[in-house]
Amino acid sequence: MTRDALIQACAELIAEQGLAALSLRKVAERVGIQAPSIYTHFANKEALLSEASRRASAALGDCLRQACQGDDARERLLSTAMGYLHFADTQASLFALFFKELPSVRRSLEDLPDAGSPYGFLIDRVGDFLGGPREPVEVLAFGIWSLVHGAAVLRQTHLRGFSGPIVEGTRQNLARLLDGWHPLPPPEPATNRPPRKGNR
């Protein structure tokens, strides 16, 4: 129980004060233990932060997988994307930890996302819907992620307490975004036949 409490306290402090303000002393105070007791569970602050990051990623992945429902690829993709808003609502401190303070290690499209990552799961659902080469799949995945992330952040900051239908509006925007993309035909199979030469 104390290990889970330490991870939760770490996430809450980062959400409230930012990563730079995190210290083991503050984490211990929030949990109600002496700071040296933390070393029973974590070797140092970096180990605690690493586990909190892993926990946040796993929690988001679980939320997306549970949200993924539907009879076809489009509906499964739409429900997966909406699961992001549910995660931001129900696990706000982990959401803040993961997306405000822990940058992605990817540096280009050539760096594939981890197979078990939440973004990897989204890309797989986009691939099921769109098909075709990876680049347009990533373009659509980025558009979806940007839309739901923007809505989630606005609901927690500038539009906190706003009574408008943000969730339903986000769903409608996602549906229209998906309807603007059409499944791509599969690539033509490569042949070993030499190109035909024209008449000279």
Domain positions in the chain: 53-179
Give the pLDDT confidence score for residue 104 in this predicted structure. 73
What's residue 200's pLDDT?
43
**Residues of the chain where predicted confidence (pLDDT) is lower than 70:** 1, 100-103, 184-200
Question: Could you tell me if 183 and 129 are in contact, meaning their C-beta atoms sit under 8 angstroms apart?
Answer: yes
Tally of CA atoms within 13 A in the half-sphere of 50 that contains its CB: 7
CATH architecture of 53-179: Orthogonal Bundle (1.10)
pLDDT for res 116: 81
Note the pLDDT of residue 194.
58
Q: Is residue 63 a contact partner of residue 87, using CB atoms and an 8 Å limit?
A: yes
Show Cβ contacts of residue 32 under 8 Å, excluding neighbours closer than 6 positions: none
Query: What are the tens digits of pLDDT across the range 95-136?
Result: 888 776 666 777 887 888 877 889 999 999 999 999 988 899
The whole model's pTM is what? 0.80
